[in-house]
Structure 1
Amino acid sequence: MTLFRRLDEHHPMTGRLAMAVEYDGTAYCGWQRLKHAASVQDEVEKALARVASHPVNVKASGRTDSGVHATRQIIHFDAPVPRSEKAWVFGVNANLPRDIAMRWVKAVPDEFHARFKALARRYRYVILNQPSRPVLERANATWCRDPLDADAMHRAAQVLIGEHDFSSFRAAGCQSKTPWRRLHFIEVHRHGPLVMIDVQGNAFLHHMIRNIVGALVTVGRGSRGEDYLAELMVLKDRKRADVTAPACGLHFVDSLYDPCWGLPSEPLGPNLLAFLGEWTGERPLPDCPMVDIRRGRPVAVPSQSTREAAHE
C-alpha cells in the first residue's frame, strides 16, 4: 500500500466495509461506548452517521482502556448507503474531532468480522527515560527519570511467552471468562532515551499490558531481579503484584488478520518509532490452536482456555 495515492471518488462503496482508526485516547474513556463518559466509538459512529445520513453501528477489533492510544484499530460496519472511498475517509474525518482520524476504508466480504476474525493484537508501550520531564511527548509516552536497564527488562519478560494464566496481571474488574492468554512475543528495546516494550498476543486481559509494564519497570530500576515476573506468574494474585503503568504510554498498533481479507498494510505506529521501519503483519504468526480456529483449519481438541480465548 502506498501512503500517497488519490482516493477514488467515482465508484460507490457499499456492503460491509472495514476501516482503520487512529486516535489519541487522552480525552476518552477508551474505545467502547459508555453512557457516563466520552468514547472513541461514539465519536466514530456519529461521524459515520453524518456521512451516511443514517445511524451506523460499528464493531471493533478490540477495546482499549481510558487514555490509551491507537494507530491501527480495525472496525467494520454495514454501509446503509453507497458512498465513494473519498467520501467515507475524508467525509468521516471532516466530522471527527482532531484527536481521531480514519486511515483507510476497504470493502470486505460479509463473513469478515473485525473482532472475531482477528488473529492477534499488538501493542507498543513507550517510556521516555531521561532526567527531565517530557514536553512534546507528554501525552503519548510515560516518563521515567530513573535509569532503566532495558536488556534486563527484556530477559525478565521472556517467561511470559506462550500460553499462561495471567491472573497476576489482570485488573480486579476484568470481565473475561478465563485468565489464560497466549503471548506470541514480548520484546524490550532501547532507542536513545526511548524504551519500547513491544508485545503481541491472541488477546489481552483488562490492564494486562500496563500491569506487565509496571513489573518490568521495577526490574529495569534494579529493585527486583530478572526472575521477578516468573515469581508473579506463580502467585496468580493481582493483589501481590506490582503497580499499573500509566495509560498514556500504551499504543494499540496492529490487529492481524488472514491475508485472504486483503486489508492494507501500513507502517507500525506510533510515529515516534517510525524510524524502526516495520510494517503491519511482517512477523509470521506462531502455530497455535486459536489462529487455526479463526482461519478455519482443523484443530485436534483445543484446550478450554483456547476455546474461550478464541471468542474474546
Structure 2
Amino acid sequence: MTNHDEASAVRPLTLAWASRHLEVGERIVRTDALHGGITAEMRRLTIGTRDGGTRALVLRTFVDPFHVERAEDSLNRETGALTQLAGTDVPAPGLVAVDPTAAHCEYPSLLMTHLAGRSVLNDEGLETRIHLLARQLVAIHALRPAKRPREYETLTTADTVVTPKGADAAAWAAAVDVIRKPAPPYEGRFLHRDFQPGNVLFDMPPPRPAGARITGVVDWAAASWGPADLDVAHCSTNLALLHGPAWGLRFSEAYEEAGGVLAAAASERLYWGVRDGLACSEEVQQVAQPWREAGRAELTTRVVEERLDAYVTALMDTLG
C-alpha cells in the first residue's frame, strides 16, 4: 500500500477494520488525504479489486478531542441519514461500516462509498450552480423518511454572537435582538443542516460551466428535522461569504423558483436568516481556512468578516 503524503496514512487498527469490510479478494492499495473537512480527517481509500481494477471508499475519522466527545452522536446521525437516503434520488454516499465509539479503531470512524465529482468554490458559473443547489435542496426537503431524524439544534445565543471588528453596530444589535425572540412556528422538513457549496459535488465538463451537474451531497452528520428556512439560510450565508452578500440573498429566491416553500412572513424569514449569519460569527476563522486551502487565497478571515457584516446588514435592510 502507498500513501500520497504523510497525512494520508491510516492508523493500523483503523486500516485493519476498514480491510475487514472489503469484499473477498480486495485490498487497500493507496490512501490519500482529502482536504476541506473541519471536524474530522477525511481520506480516500483506493481498493484493488479481484479483477485487477480499482474502486474507492471514503474514511471519516474524528481525532480532535472536542469532536471525539461528540463523534458517537454525529456518526449515529450520519448512519441514520445515509440509511434513509439509500434508494432515493438524492445522490448521497452509501454506508459501508461505522465504528462510532472506537471499539475497533483508534478513533471513531465511518467508511462510505466514494462519489464522483468535486466541490466548486470559485465564482465562474455561479449563476448556474445556484439553481442546481436550489433544486437539490428542494429535493432533500421533499423526502419523508420512515423515521424522522432528531429535531434541529441551534447553539448560538444572543450572548455568544461575536460582532466583527468595524461592523455596523446598530445593525448587529438589531440582529441580535431578533434571535432573543422565540423561534417562529414551522412545518418540519428533512434537513441536511450543513448544505453549502463545500458539501456538494459537481461534474464540471470543460469548458462549459453551464453543463455542470450535481453528482453528490456529502457530510450528513447533522441531519435533522426542522424548518426549510434553516437549510436555506445556512447555504445563503456560505454563498454570501464565498461570493458576496448579493449571492446570499439570491439563493432564497432561487429556492422558491425551484418550488421550495419558505416562511410566509418576512419577520420569520429574517429570524432564520439572521440566526444562521450570527452563528457564523463565532467560527469565521474555521470557515475561512478550508476555503483558502481549496484555492480561495483571497478569503482571509478579515475579508470573510467584512462580507458577513455586509450580509447581516443586508438582511436587516431587506427583511427587517
TM-score (norm 1): 0.27
Q: Which has the higher helix share?
A: 2
TM-score (norm 2): 0.26
Higher relative contact order (CA 8 A, sep 6+): 1
